[in-house]
Amino acid sequence: MLKTRVIPVLTIKDLRLVKSVQFAEHRNIGSFIAAARVFNARDVDEMVVLDLDGRKSGLKPELLKEITKECFMPLTVGGGVRSVEDVQKLLSLGADKVSLNTEAVRNPKLISEASKRFGSQCVVVSIDAKKTANGYEVMIDGGRDQTGLSPVVWAKEAQKMGAGEILLTSIDHDGCMDGYDVELVREVSLVVSLPVIACGGAGNASHCVEVVQKGGASAVSAASMFQYTEITPRGIKEELAKAGIEVRL
């Protein structure tokens, strides 16, 4: 059985570490390099780095170069990835996995092309979802644009196209630290055999335990919890282990 991972997320805008609430109100909280250095010293399982400017300005290889100087844990990078060539560039610069979001929805063949060329283990499909009157809807372009897609349907399609993992973010819970959207995570986890990383809403260890036990998440990711509280990734792992969940300690 695969061990449950604890994954810090760094979101970067204007080359600064930022944190949002429901994908808005991006607050500058410091240096992403300093944050990466801290997480590297804390021996986290993996780290996700998302360049929020990438959808407008495109890929920033120099950003990844700066981070890989400080990080020696598995690294997933996303933002501005529009082609197989972009995926190749990020992998060649030290990324272990590449996150595909908006472009994957617009051009699903990018998933299969990247998977065939580099292996599905390198391809993470990032799904940003928002609750509506009729369920959940996949949003793209930083949560600005509706797609009409259900996260369940899109996750199944992403798996079929060759994705190796799903990074599932609740826009409604993002930055609120009120707990993950367990219902959303459960709905997606039940229909795919891929690992599902829960993202959006973590505020304490009990939230992480709940989304694994009740939502079926394979990994828990967080940003605000690690930036605004004294809680550490190791502390989360210890609480998961106490709940009988397999982790790397």
d(CA 103, CA 110): 8
Q: Is the pLDDT of residue 20 over 70?
A: yes
Q: For residue 212, what pLDDT is reported? A: 98
pLDDT tens, residue by residue, 195-215: 999 999 999 999 999 999 999
Report the mean per-residue pLDDT for the chain.
94
Question: What is the share, in percent, of the chain residues with pLDDT greater than 90?
Answer: 85
Q: What percent of the chain has pLDDT over 70?
A: 100
State the pLDDT at residue 10.
95
Predicted confidence at residue 1, as pLDDT, reads 62
Give the model's pLDDT for residue 214: 98
Q: What pLDDT, on a 0 to 100 scale, did the predictor assign at position 63?
A: 83
Does residue 222 carry a pLDDT above 70? yes
What residue ranges in 71-176 does DSSP mark as E strands?
Answer: 75-78, 97-100, 123-132, 135-140, 145-146, 165-170
Banded model confidence at residue 15, pLDDT cuts 50, 70, 90: confident
Q: By C-alpha distance, which of 211, 15, 237, 197 is closest to 97?
A: 197
Residues in the chain: 249
pLDDT digit string, tens, across residues 79-120? 989 999 999 999 999 999 999 999 999 999 999 999 999 999
pLDDT of 42 reads 85
- pLDDT value of residue 154: 98
Residue 171 in this model has a pLDDT that exceeds 80: yes
In this structure, are residues 53 and 13 in contact, taking their beta carbons and an 8 Å threshold?
Answer: yes
Domain boundaries, the chain: 5-242
What is the mean pLDDT of the segment spanning 22-46? Answer: 90
* 158 pLDDT higher than 90: yes
pTM of the model: 0.96
List CB contacts of 199: < 8 A, sequence separation 6 or more.
Answer: 9, 167, 168, 169, 170, 180, 221, 222
Tell me which amino acid residue 58 is: G
* CA dihedral (157, 169, 232, 48) positive or negative: positive
> What average pLDDT does the segment 145-167 reach?
98
The band of 9, judged by pLDDT with boundaries at 50, 70 and 90, is very high
Contact assessment for residue 123 and residue 72, using Cβ atoms and an 8 Å cutoff: no
- The mean pLDDT value for 216-233 works out to 96
Cα gap 101→80, rounded to integer Å: 9
Residue 55: per-residue pLDDT: 78
**Which residues are paired to 221 by β-bridges?**
7
Cα 155 from Cα 57, distance rounded (Å): 27
Q: What is the dotted CATH code of the domain comprising 5-242?
A: 3.20.20.70
Can you tell me the distance from the alpha carbon of 48 to that of 53, in angstroms, rounded to the nearest whole number? Answer: 15
